[in-house]
Chain A
């Protein structure tokens, strides 16, 4: 069996047409896009501006509202720190959702250190933002709220429009990390009414090392990288021209193929979901049952540890990802990374068993045959791991779990 790749939420392969569009910008059109008065600079400059247009089109923004950065992480940093710093005269309180990506959550300590107050808003068992908790935690001093558009670990799509509507009534800035959604499902920043949104192409068959930030016209934002005057003064540093060109191309293709992709992914993931539910007992699906990313199936299986499951799937040619801290931080220098996934703890999965979670994120090139392969190997792997699990042994003998569901 050739490798089955079910980990598109972490990276997608670069589309061949995308790669082809990037190539000339390494050797032939290598000039610095800031050297606009000479032909060598003018060509890449035009290419960057064309890509900017494509990305603006993808999310229904206008061209001068799109800023290029080096990654979704940088976009999230530019948005949160940039909005906070530019608006500190209005208040000091910032709210993050409990399930934000580390590139948001891990800004908390820094922001606290420079005088901001950070608080976290709860999500419900499906990973949906708890609006009541948001209302409770809002004070006059609140200037900014950050809620991701979709969570890549559990697939849930957040009610961004509804949250924005509420925040606008209170004149509060709103950032949303759209790394999981832009290019995958239709996104219209005007309709969603966000002030800033992160866009990242390596989730939709574009290159890594490039991302964008939508900044709504008129919104004040302080740059966090100082240097030259690239990107309308919001982000210094010579643009990564080939990657930007690839980003633009990937955005264009995503626009054209989105409906087709969504339809296929929905079909495949439905089969995967139903197949797992009928062949494995004590399996719990995570995330929202309907409002979720197409092609995303996430779950945890009782009495089975996630890293072991992931390793066995890998040995059976299937690439997936696990919420198990044990697997995601294998390369950590020490054990500091062994905490249970904050996303799973936030949706109420008992911390001692968070480690059993797996996410399958499908992509446009996956096939039904690959889904069937996964379904055919899963029960055997689960049985094997349960046979060696002391937790399962105890459960079989006593009917008692070591944790509360």
Chain B
């Protein structure tokens, strides 16, 4: 692969071939977060059955690291229970990507936050439903 400055091959792979990109119709949970500093927006859709994440998709408006972070996060959470998914930290996301440059750490934070917001959304829906 062509060298891409500060990005690892894993980041570039997820950037070029994002996994699980798209929307889930009638998702059980949706989480959208934005970072006002860089302007990036990440939206995560989850399908949850019996407390387990059976499907995850994302849409992201953002930099290479943000797209790669969203993509790998959806892979990491699929098949996990909600509790297990909540334990995934931004460091774990960055590590799975083979590392991110210092200024880009926050892109993985965005992914962690999107996941948290989605699960909050799920709990809220469940509570009221």
Where the two chains meet, the residues of A that have a C-beta atom closer than 8 Å to any C-beta of B are: 303-305, 307-308, 311, 314-315, 324-327, 329-335, 337-340, 351-355, 387-393, 402
Contacts and interface: CB of A to CB of B under 8 A. Distances in A.
Contacts of B16: 315
Nearest to A327: B63
Interface stretch (B40-48, B72-80, B90-98): B40-48
Contacts of B103: 329-335, 337-338
Given A330-B6, A390-B32, 18 more contacts: A305-B63, A308-B67, A314-B2, A315-B16, A335-B38, A335-B105, A338-B37, A340-B39, A352-B39, A355-B38, A387-B21, A388-B59, A388-B61, A389-B60, A390-B41, A390-B43, A391-B41, A392-B61
Contacts of B60: 388-390
B106 interface: yes
Nearest to B38: A338
A207 B33 CA distance: 45
Contacts of B105: 335
Contacts of A305: 39-40, 61-63, 66
Interface majority SS on B: helix, strand, loop or mixed? mixed
B106 A388 contact: no
B15 interface: yes
Contacts, number: 94
A354 B15 contact: no
24 contacts: A305-B40, A305-B66, A307-B64, A308-B64, A314-B4, A326-B62, A327-B63, A330-B5, A331-B103, A332-B102, A335-B103, A335-B106, A338-B37, A338-B38, A338-B106, A352-B39, A353-B39, A355-B39, A355-B63, A387-B21, A388-B59, A389-B41, A389-B61, A390-B32
A388 B102 contact: no
Which 5 A-B pairs rank lowest in CB-CB distance, beginning with the nearest?
Answer: A390-B43, A307-B63, A326-B63, A332-B103, A390-B59
Nearest to B59: A390
Contact of A311 (B61, B64, B101, B104): B64
